[in-house]
Amino acid sequence: MQETVLANATLILPDRVAKGHLVIREGHIAVIDNGTAPRGAIDCEGDFLAPGLIELHTDNLERHIQPRPGVDWPHAAAIFAHDAELAGCGITTVFDAMRVGSIPSRKDYAPYARHLATELLAQRAAGGLKISHHLHLRAEICCESLLDELDQFGPADRVGLVSLMDHTPGQRQFRDTAMLETYLRSKVQMEDREIARYFDELKALSAQNGAAHEAGAVRFANSVGAVLASHDDSTKTEVARSAEHGIRLAEFPTTREAAEACRAHGIRTIMGAPNLIRGGSHSGNIAARDLAAAGLLDIVSSDYVPSALLSAAALLAQIWEDWPRAIACVTATPALAAGLSDRGRLATGQRADLIRFRMIGDTPSLRESWVVGQRVA
């Protein structure tokens, strides 16, 4: 039987950090022990050994598909590059976020999810991907085309996550519209008059479609067995509505009020790793560090910078002086939230999705990643 032994490691176990070795057999963790390692072991030189990171919300694939505005890169090559980048950042399971719901007046908001998902699933079926990929559909609930786009997905796609997004100006992520205006001016080259017209258009769409589409997206998620998540909750009322939909996962609550309401409703919170590392949100919302300090942060997502996930875990370990607690935010807790019970912890019987890293100064340096016992980076 093929066996890999990783010895002389600093193991980040669910409840403690311990020196020892770990044995992989048939893609799973067979033994964790602090005794003498068997012969032929790989010497980890004292490096940390942790579960592979689990990423629930990343736009990174979009960045590879469109490396510059208007450039549509060949999708197969983009998917491979994205997959390899994540493996190299220690991410061994990813929920690739794809937007459903489009805005005809914006060139950068055309439909793409169905096409891209088909390509990704084909690569996965062909064994071309290093890490474990799942679909995360980001449902823009105010968009005209949302329900038609969702209809193109079914149980065979095994959609893992559906998040309910409402990016209407004046609420949630864009309660303060100044950041959005800056974005539209610089990224989409909109002028002030166009921006005003565009905001009116979005508010009208919200009034027209918001409630019906939200209900439709919830129905869709339930029909395909996907986990539902809310997005950018900013008030108690919004969180209460999430709870009514049966939501147990909140992406990027924007205020302390919303994060506290999530706690009261038993909803786990996800905060962005870039927000943690930069010390604040790029949209001017609550700092993830404040939620971490208040014990209101459960899960971290790399959002738009894959390497930020491990860095954010290291930062939390420093803030909390607790590696197991910090690592759980990027492994065991997202696994639980996404309904994956076979991974996320260093424990016998779990998938051997593992990472080896060491700290150089305050920055983690990834040495190796394994997925189901196979080295992928």
Binding site residues, Fe ion, CB under 5 A:
173, 232
CB of 220 to Fe ion, least distance (A): 19
Q: Minimum distance from CB of 139 to Fe ion (Å)?
A: 12
| CB closer to Fe ion out of 75 and 268 | 268
Tokens linked to 365:
């340096």
CB 301 within 8 A of CB 56: yes
Strand partners of residue 366: 357
3-state secondary structure of 55: strand
State which residue, 173 or 331, has the beta carbon closest to Fe ion.
Answer: 173
Helix 192-224 vs helix 178-187: crossing angle, to nearest 10 = 100
For the CB of residue 354, give the shortest distance to Fe ion in the complex, in Å. Answer: 32
Provide the token pair at 270.
């996800």
Q: φ and ψ at 302, to 5 degrees?
A: -75, -15
Q: How far is the CB of 173 from Fe ion (least distance, A)?
A: 4
Q: Which is nearer to Fe ion, 250 or 332 (CB)?
A: 250
Q: How far is the CB of 97 from Fe ion (least distance, A)?
A: 11
Name the DSSP letter for residue 107. Answer: G
- Please name the residue ranges forming H helices in the chain: 60-65, 75-88, 113-125, 146-151, 178-187, 192-224, 236-244, 256-265, 273-278, 288-293, 308-320, 323-328, 332-337
What residue number has its CB nearest to Fe ion? 173
Q: Minimal distance in Å, beta carbon 261 to Fe ion?
A: 18
Following DSSP, what letter does each residue of 244-262 receive, concatenated? HTT--EEE---SHHHHHHH
173 vs 302, which CB is nearer to Fe ion?
A: 173
- Minimum gap (Å) between residue 231 Cβ and Fe ion: 5
Q: Each residue of 293-325: b (16+ CB within 10 Å) or e?
A: eeebbbbbbbbbbbbbbbbbbbbbbeebeebbb
- 301 or 311: CB nearest Fe ion: 301
Residue nearer to Fe ion on the CB measure, 48 or 95: 95
| Residue 49 · residue 350 · CB < 8 Å | no
Residue (174 or 370) nearer to Fe ion, CB: 174
